[in-house]
A and B are shown apart, each in its own frame.
Chain A
Amino acid sequence: MERWVNLSGAGKSAAPASARTAALVEFTLPKLLIVPALALIGLFVVFPLVWSVVMSFTNYSMLGVTARKWGFIGLKNYIWVLTDPDFQAAIANSFIFTIVSALIGQALLGLALAVVMRMKGPEGWVGAATKVLKVIAGALVFVAWIIPEVVAGYCWAAAMSRGGLFTAMFGINYNFYVRHPLQAMIIANIWRGTAFSMILFMAALESIPNYIYEAAEVDGATPWQRFRYVTFPLISNALLVDFILITVWTFGLFTLIFTLIGPQMDYMWTLYVYVLATGRMGPPWTGPGPLSTAAAAADIMFVIVLALITGYLYALRRLRRWA
């Protein structure tokens, strides 16, 4: 009690009653103010989540008799989904997609771009021209991030079609996104998401004062040593935050992929859930559009994402110590 009384500036000389009111205001008001937000989160995040877990134990479906008369069936949906070869392929592809397109593609490319953007050009008109080029390049990368996903998806589908950009540039004489859907997804997602990593890293690099580099240079540090012992430790937090965000985003990506490769359920788990929920197949115990089975698939993925993020947070702690 003492601490916040002192913090509120009432001091020991103040009347106990007003101190109590002040305390009440200071302690209770913030919590009260959180209530609406909490209620909204509860309604739109926690409740659907709980509801999807509840639903995954039933045989509820969109059509057929189980749309009306449904009951609890235990773990059947989970077993069906986990033994589905399409789901296994979808998980494997989702991981490949996330690791290659987000962690390797977006983050690395973003970091490289951010470092290049921060480099100082030479004096004179060459430097000025470089500056202009940098602004243009930055803007272009940023535009890729602003374009709506549906537009980006269709643009890439057009570019990767026979007779499109890929034919003109690389002489690929077939529909690239049809024959190599995973590669197409990866290219499109790197193109689209690099801007976010770049902006994040640029901000992190901006916050490193120049004198540290100057001091390192005076001490005779090589460019690699400067990166390893100055830049890297100072941006490692940004790196981890970036990793967490792009992993979650990429893992849950739907629109871009759907517009690009269509309802191919074995290429991404979001597509799997979509096809299952709105499609006409499913296990024998539900009707067409088995929302319950799709919910089970979504819940499995939710647990995987949760485990991933927990791993990241643990890594963040380790990294701080190491850096």
Chain B
Amino acid sequence: MPAERGLSIAAIVIAIIAIIIAGIAIGQAMSKPHVLTKTVVTTVVKSAVPVTKTVVKTATATVTKTATMTATVTKTSKPIVLTIEYGEPWKDLVQPAIQKFEAWASSHGYNVQVKQVMLPYGINFMQRISSDFAAGTAGDVVIIDSFMIPAFAKAGYLYPLDNFVKNWPDWQYYPEPMKKIVTWFGHVYGIMIDTDVRMLWYRKDIFKMCGLPVPWQPKSWQDIIKAAEKLKSCAPKIEKALGINEFYPLYFPAGTKWGEATTMQGFYMLLLGAAKPPYNRLYDYKTHKWICKSTALYRSFWFYVYTYKNGLEPVSYNFVSNVWGTMRKVFSEGKVAILVGGSWEWGEGWGPQGIAPLKPCLQKCGCTGGKCTTSSQIQCYTACEAQYIGFAKMPSYNGSRWVTISGGWAIVINDKLANNPEKLQLAWKLITFITSRDNEAQYCAKYGKICPRSDCAEVPIYAKNTYLKEISQFLKFTDFRDALPGYTKVSYAIQQVTGMIAKGEITNAMTALNKYCDLVKRYVGANNVEVLPVQTS
């Protein structure tokens, strides 16, 4: 029937128009939520301050009147569920602290349940956490990469901890750089849980096999390349001796699959030593522009082009599904002889309970199931590890100085707790348990990570660790990323260009530099970049 058909079509058209209008209306409404949130947040923050003081007092002192009152209230109500989201590398830091926190909470009459969201190895933690924050499903307490703090804080995802740290006696044990990393525009948004340095890892046994000196300390980039070329000529011998089917002398991470690690572990280690400061950076702090072309950038790309083009570095390890796991495995198996990597790999990667322990050491120390468990086994393994794996300082381009870079992860509170003062207090309390001196020292000593607290050195297990003592020397010449807004985009351009070099799509350092400059211009805007003179010799 024409009339009915017409009516139906009209109804459908009206419905579609209504949906479109609704979409636009919701869009408009959501485009200005900051007005609403701001007022709510400020009121809550204001009302939260007195509560903060009470809970901090009750936490430290014996049971006061307020605490008893809170206790009776919370006991009868449903348990408070506190969610903590963190990556698997931090499980031995978080899990013991949760136990202590829960014991504390029950003894103080809080009915709290800590729900753990542990992100397993093999996924990009920051990608997942960013999506969770954007979707509003992130945990109440989250462990994030410290360089992302500006981007998260600007998005309004993080709760400022200023009032908490002000009354926190432990805050004084954090050295200034560790405070600076977590501070953005005068507000503290997180507490550092670990920090690190980067270096050249090398296989002593392979070096000896090829007649290279052990211990090894290259003085310039040329020394690294020379050693790599010599190792390449020994490849058949090494492959036969170790029973492996492939061997690469050198490995600097490249490509987007590695994410931030390509920039941090690989590129920055070259860039920082590629020219004299301040021309060895990605950002020009004088002109407030990103550096699009410079001699340092050219030289760093040159290193990638030279080593990848000449088959000194493995291409495919950069594109496999689990780049981190593969990198640790191939180094442990001897398929890679020199690796640029973080100080944590000593424990996390190849340690007695690491991801890819050395097979000969496991056998020697009678460790079964791929891990050493008893303390005598661990002692035996650690001694054995030092016979196989060594580390060297990364030299600058011409050997004038040493280079390393530090990062680290921080623990933060989700801004969605802003309107839940009680939960906010408990979240902070949990953080104090996680970042407590003994907990940090225990964890850092186990994984060979550098403790961000200066008082960790008072804890015997940390102070006695010879490895940590050695790498703490690196802190004297360490540097930090140019973690300004826009950094993630510039970093992505580096990942793209190094990926193209690794795949052989770019075979010339100048082409790489031009491509990088084009990408950076696209990502941050042509008027936010500058071109410095490039010296190609």
Contacts and interface: CB of A to CB of B under 8 A. Distances in A.
Interface of A: 1, 3, 27, 31, 38, 42, 46-47, 50-51, 53-55, 58, 60-65, 67-72, 80, 84, 154, 157, 161-163, 174-175, 178-179, 259, 261-265, 275, 278-284, 287-289, 291
Contacts of B37: 68
Contacts of B13: none
Contacts of B302: none
A72 B24 CA distance: 11
B322 to A, nearest CB: 10
B34 A69 contact: yes
B321 A262 contact: yes
Given A263-B257, A288-B151, A50 B23 contact: yes
A63 B319 contact: no
Interface stretch (B152-160, B438-446, B454-462, B469-477): B152-160
Nearest to A4: B1
Pick the 4 closest A-B CB pairs, nearest first.
Answer: A280-B488, A284-B525, A67-B155, A281-B492
B523 A175 contact: no
Interface residues of B, number: 51
Given A63-B157, A157-B320, 11 more contacts: A65-B155, A67-B154, A68-B33, A69-B34, A157-B321, A163-B245, A174-B316, A284-B525, A288-B151, A288-B488, A291-B134
Given A50-B23, A68-B154, A175-B316, A284 B523 contact: yes
Contact of B131 (A31, A62, A275): A62
Interface string B330-366: 0000000000000000000000000000000000000
B19 A64 contact: no
B315 to A, nearest CB: 7
A53 B26 CA distance: 13
Nearest to A261: B319
Contacts of B152: 63
B524 interface: yes
A73 to B, nearest CB: 11
A54 B24 contact: yes
B486 to A, nearest CB: 8
Interface string B20-34: 101110110001011
B127 A278 contact: yes
Interface in B118-139: 127, 130-131, 133-134
B20 A287 contact: no
A31 B9 CA distance: 12
30 contacts: A31-B8, A46-B16, A47-B22, A50-B23, A62-B131, A62-B134, A63-B130, A63-B152, A63-B155, A68-B37, A70-B31, A84-B522, A161-B320, A162-B246, A175-B315, A175-B316, A178-B316, A178-B503, A262-B257, A262-B319, A262-B320, A275-B256, A280-B491, A284-B486, A284-B524, A287-B151, A288-B130, A288-B489, A289-B134, A291-B134
Given A278-B130, A281-B523, A287 B316 contact: no
B176 interface: no
B485 interface: yes
Contact of A42 (B19, B133, B522): B19
B69 interface: no
B505 to A, nearest CB: 10
Nearest to A62: B134
B492 A280 contact: yes
A194 to B, nearest CB: 25
Interface centre among A50, A55, A61, A282 (most CB of B within 10 A): A50
Interface in B489-537: 489, 491-493, 503, 519, 522-525, 528
Contacts of A58: 27, 31
B488 A284 contact: no
A174 B504 CA distance: 14
A278 B124 CA distance: 10
A64 B523 contact: no
Contacts of B20: 50
Contacts of A53: 23
Nearest to B3: A1
Nearest to B318: A178
A293 to B, nearest CB: 11
B511 to A, nearest CB: 14
A178 B148 contact: no
Given A262-B257, A262-B321, A68 B130 contact: no
Interface string B312-327: 0001100111000000
B155 A64 contact: yes
Nearest to B126: A280
B284 to A, nearest CB: 17
A141 to B, nearest CB: 26
B319 A283 contact: no
Interface string B153-195: 0111100000000000000000000000000000000000000
A142 B130 CA distance: 38
Contacts of A3: 1
